[in-house]
């Protein structure tokens, strides 16, 4: 899966580079656009400065033309010489100025002032028309005019800004200056509107900390005076500012500020040219501003983009199929072969990465369960010869053949009790001081008289040890018995009903004189029972014994240690347990191989 991972990493890097370019690329474009807009404002500021000079020249020429009026010249000459009444001269000059400039408000003239050669106001038109006599010779523009110069200036006072032009008035003989005429032109809304029409940008006029006039809503320009004040040093050295950014709500404005010349510069009077800056170019703004023409076929590389995307997807799918799906399919096929025992283990060298680790884990699991020892039960894989030699199970407990599990431990049985259970004889009391009190056992039913039975067929019992104890049997014979021992069996199969063996008679092999105990009282007279069923039972036990010995020898197990008397007693004990539990008539035993060793299983038989 290495190539698939590398491919996905490359695709991720490519996508990351594309996203980074989408977010970063607009910023250099913004800076370039801002630079171009700043250059545009620079050109506009230069054009505004030239317009100010042209306007100043135009108003100076206009004032100079007024100063050449003969009536105005004669009145100012009389005031300069002190001839005539000042009030009469005031009325005469004021009337003459109104006649010369009848449309003052329409051309933007706010006031006209006529002064004599000493700088005293002879008459006013516009602001403060009734006042006269004060001296304004201290104004630079007035002083220059009285010295014979035509000049202009900007005055700022009472929150208003005015451009001023002044021209001298000479006598009729042109030999001396008799006064001057000053015109104050509005510098506000009219100037801003005119510049906006001619320059194509918005204009604002600032005086101190106030915006005097603007082509934009003045409420949005509250931060403009503070921004200009922060760049006062730059303005003083360069007579202008570089392009600055001003935020007005959701819009950005690019501006250039420059000072007015003259007396107004001392009062921080500036004109500001503003232009709306393009919005910040992020991917979302660019997409929102895209039009259908930008995405039409031929302008947008739809074919190249589609082919590139399909190629990346195809390469990713091929690598995924080659390195992931194919190995997984082969691994599943091998696992199925392993489950069918067609192979012993997986070839984990064919797989790399995590699939190789999975294959190795599967092999380790199979190896563990294949070579792990089988769980041991309490009686599994026990040597029956050793058990018989010990006279019981390995832990001293008896084994329940019908259930296949150990029963509660019981004391070794009395040989007399074993013989009684085997042959139906009443149990004898135990010797004095040994074991519990005797339990009464009902006497066996009286035998039915029959013809004399045939002599019993002798039974060969190899390695038969001497009897441990002898007890009388109902027929007056005795039998050799030993403590019960365990025979390993399987779970019981279903009960059989087709076999009905007769009860097992006393075998001649166990007959011996009774020496230890007196004979029991004689039962009531009854017919003598035949010994044929008992003979069949013992023949069955003998056959099972011989098959068991032969199977042990075939399996390579020792046979010399198997005692026949213990073997028969165990079969009889298991038979009695099955009869008591299932209510069956008898039981049959068979020999088989279990885990490489000989074993015996019991089958209950109903009538």
pLDDT at 607: 67
Say yes or no to pLDDT of 283 above 80. Answer: no
CA distance 245 to 336: 74
* Arithmetic mean of pLDDT, 528-549: 76
- Per-residue pLDDT, averaged over 291-317, amounts to 83
Rg from Cα positions in the chain: 68
Classify strands 151-157 and 160-170 as parallel, antiparallel or unpaired.
Answer: antiparallel
Predicted local distance difference test score (pLDDT) of residue 512: 37
Query: By three-state DSSP, how is residue 39 classified?
Result: helix
Categorize the per-residue pLDDT at 281 as very low, low, confident or very high, splitting at 50, 70 and 90: low
- Give residue 489's pLDDT: 38
**Residue 15: what pLDDT?**
85
pLDDT at 430 > cutoff 70: no
Give the tens place of pLDDT for each residue, 561-581.
888 888 999 999 998 998 888
pLDDT in tens, 201-234: 999 999 888 888 898 888 788 888 999 989 988 8
Average pLDDT over every residue of 148-154 = 88
Q: What is the mean pLDDT of residues 376-384?
A: 47
DSSP 193-237: HHHHHHHSSEEEEEETTEEEEESS-GGGGTTHHHHHHHTHHHHHH
Q: Is 164 or 491 the better-scoring residue by pLDDT?
A: 164
* Residue 594: C-alpha distances to residues 380, 424, 560 (Å): 9, 34, 20
> 308 versus 292: which is more confidently predicted?
308
Give the separation between CA 184 and CA 112, rounded to whole angstroms: 6
Mean pLDDT, residues 538-560:
90
Residue 405 has pLDDT above 70, yes or no: no
Class of the CATH domain delimited by 68-187: alpha beta
pLDDT band at 376 (very low <50, low <70, confident <90, very high): low
Q: Of 83 and 443, which is predicted with more confidence? A: 83
Residue located via tokens 């004109």: 271
**In the chain, % of residues over pLDDT 90:** 8
In angstroms, rounded to a whole number, what is the distance separating the alpha carbons of residues 328 and 358? 10
pLDDT of residue 154: 86
Mean pLDDT across the chain: 74
| Cβ neighbours around 418 below 10 Å, total | 24
Please state the rounded mean pLDDT for residues 272-297: 73
Of 564, 566, 562, the residue nearest 542 (C-alpha): 564
Token pair 């698939």 is at which residue?
A: 4
Sign, CA dihedral 125-126-129-135, equals negative
Hey, where are the domains in the chain?
68-187, 313-371, 384-430+452-519+530-605
User: In a 10 Å sphere around its CB, with 0-12 CB exposed, 13-18 middle and 19+ buried, how is residue 123 labelled?
Assistant: buried
| Tokens 């979302």 sit on residue | 284
State how far the Cα of 316 lies from the Cα of 311, in Å rounded to an integer.
9
- Which residues have a Cβ under 8 Å from the Cβ of 320 and sit 6 or more positions away? 4
Q: Which residues contact 137 (CB under 8 A, 6 or more apart)?
A: 115, 118, 119, 120, 143, 146
Choice between 235 and 481, residue whose per-residue pLDDT is larger? 235
Enumerate the H helices of 340-394 as residue ranges. Answer: 353-371, 384-390
Statement: residue 407 has pLDDT above 50 = no
**How far apart (Å, rounded) are the C-alpha atoms in residues 73 and 93?**
9
Q: Does position 255 have pLDDT exceeding 80, yes or no?
A: yes
Residues 6+ apart with CB under 8 A from 243: 34, 35, 37, 38, 41, 42, 254, 255, 256
pLDDT exceeds 80 at position 353: no
State whether residue 140 is helix, strand or coil: helix
CA nearest neighbour of 262 among 165, 378, 381: 165
pLDDT single digits (tens) 12-57: 888 888 878 777 767 777 777 777 777 888 888 889 888 888 888 8
pLDDT at residue number 1: 60
> Mean pLDDT over residues 441-463, rounded?
44
pLDDT at residue 548 in the model: 92
pLDDT digits (tens, 9 = 90+) for 497-523: 344 444 444 333 333 333 344 455 444
Report whether pLDDT(344) > 90: no
Residue 168: pLDDT band with limits 50, 70, 90:
very high
Element (H, E) at 521: none
pLDDT at residue number 464: 40
Q: Specify the pLDDT at position 441.
A: 40
Max mean pLDDT among 92-96, 402-406, 433-437 falls in 92-96
Q: pLDDT at residue 400 above 90?
A: no
Q: Which of 164-168, 307-311, 443-447 has the lowest mean pLDDT?
A: 443-447
The tens digit of pLDDT for each residue in 111-138 reads 889 999 888 999 999 888 888 888 888 8
pLDDT at 461 over 50: no
Q: Which of 196-205, 309-318, 372-381, 553-562 has the lowest mean pLDDT?
A: 372-381
Whether the per-residue pLDDT at 454 is higher than 60: the answer is: no
User: How many residues would you count in the chain?
Assistant: 607
Q: In the chain, what are the helix, strand and coil shares in percent, each to the nearest 5? A: 45, 20, 40
Mean pLDDT is lowest, of 145-159, 170-184, 351-365, 444-458, for: 444-458
Confidence at residue 280, expressed as pLDDT on a 0 to 100 scale? 60
Confidence of residue 549 (pLDDT cuts 50, 70, 90): very high
pLDDT score, position 317: 86
Lowest mean pLDDT among 256-270, 427-441, 528-542: 427-441
DSSP-assigned states of every residue in 157-196: ETTEEEEEEEEEEE-TTSSSEEEEEEEEEE-SHHHHHHHH
């Amino acid at each position: 899966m290495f190539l698939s991972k590398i491919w996905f990493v490359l695709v991720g890097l490519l996508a990351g580079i594309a996203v980074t370019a989408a977010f970063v690329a607009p910023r250099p474009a913004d800076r370039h656009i801002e630079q171009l807009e700043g250059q545009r404002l620079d050109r506009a500021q230069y054009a505004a400065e030239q317009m100010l000079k042209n306007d100043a020249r135009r108003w100076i020429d206009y004032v100079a033309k007024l100063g050449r009026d003969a009536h105005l010249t004669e009145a100012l000459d009389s005031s300069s010489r002190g001839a005539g009444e000042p009030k009469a001269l005031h009325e005469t000059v004021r009337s003459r100025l109104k006649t010369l400039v009848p449309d003052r408000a329409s051309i933007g003239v706010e006031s006209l002032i006529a002064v004599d050669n000493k700088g005293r106001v002879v008459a006013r038109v516009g602001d403060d028309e009734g006042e006269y006599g004060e001296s304004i010779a201290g104004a630079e523009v007035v002083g220059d005019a009285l010295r014979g110069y035509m000049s202009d200036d900007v005055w700022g006072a009472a929150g208003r800004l005015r451009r001023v032009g002044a021209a001298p008035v000479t006598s009729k003989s042109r030999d001396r200056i008799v006064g001057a005429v000053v015109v104050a032109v509005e510098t506000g809304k009219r100037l801003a509107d005119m510049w906006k029409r001619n320059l194509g940008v918005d204009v604002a006029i600032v005086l101190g900390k106030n915006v005097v006039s603007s082509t934009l809503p003045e409420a949005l320009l509250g931060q403009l005076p503070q921004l200009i004040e922060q760049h006062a040093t730059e303005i003083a050295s360069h007579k202008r500012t570089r392009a600055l950014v001003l935020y007005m709500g959701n819009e950005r404005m690019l501006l250039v500020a420059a000072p007015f010349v003259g007396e107004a510069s001392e009062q921080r009077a500036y004109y500001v040219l503003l232009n709306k800056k393009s919005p910040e170019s992020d991917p979302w703004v660019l997409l929102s501003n895209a039009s259908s023409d930008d995405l039409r076929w031929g302008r947008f590389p739809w074919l190249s983009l589609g082919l590139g995307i399909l190629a990346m997807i195809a390469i990713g799918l091929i690598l995924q199929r080659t390195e992931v799906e194919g190995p997984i399919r082969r691994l599943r096929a091998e696992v199925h072969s392993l489950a069918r025992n067609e192979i012993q283990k997986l070839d984990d060298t064919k797989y790399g990465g995590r699939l190789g680790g999975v294959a190795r884990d599967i092999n380790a699991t199979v190896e563990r369960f294949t070579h792990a020892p089988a769980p041991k039960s309490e009686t599994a894989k026990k040597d029956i010869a050793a058990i018989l030699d010990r006279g019981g199970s390995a832990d001293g407990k008896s084994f329940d053949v019908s259930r296949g599990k150990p029963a509660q431990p019981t004391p070794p049985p009395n040989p007399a009790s074993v013989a009684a259970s085997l042959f139906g004889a009443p149990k004898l009391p135990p010797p004095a001081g040994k074991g519990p009190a005797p339990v009464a056992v009902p006497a066996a039913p009286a035998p039915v008289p029959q013809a004399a039975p045939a002599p019993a067929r002798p039974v060969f019992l190899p390695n038969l040890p001497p009897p441990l104890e002898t007890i009388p049997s109902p027929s007056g014979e005795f039998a050799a018995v030993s403590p019960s021992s365990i025979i390993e069996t399987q779970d019981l199969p279903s009960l059989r009903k087709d076999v009905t063996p007769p009860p097992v008679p006393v075998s001649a092999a166990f007959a011996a004189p009774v020496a230890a105990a007196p004979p029991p009282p004689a039962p009531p007279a009854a017919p003598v029972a035949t010994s044929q069923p008992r003979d069949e039972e013992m023949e069955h036990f003998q056959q099972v014994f011989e098959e068991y010995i032969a199977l042990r020898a075939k399996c390579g197990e020792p046979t010399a240690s198997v005692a026949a008397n213990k073997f028969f007693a165990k079969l009889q004990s298991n038979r009695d347990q099955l009869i008591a539990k299932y209510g069956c008539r008898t039981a049959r035993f068979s020999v088989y191989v279990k885990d490489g060793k000989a074993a015996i299983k019991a089958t209950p038989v109903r009538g």
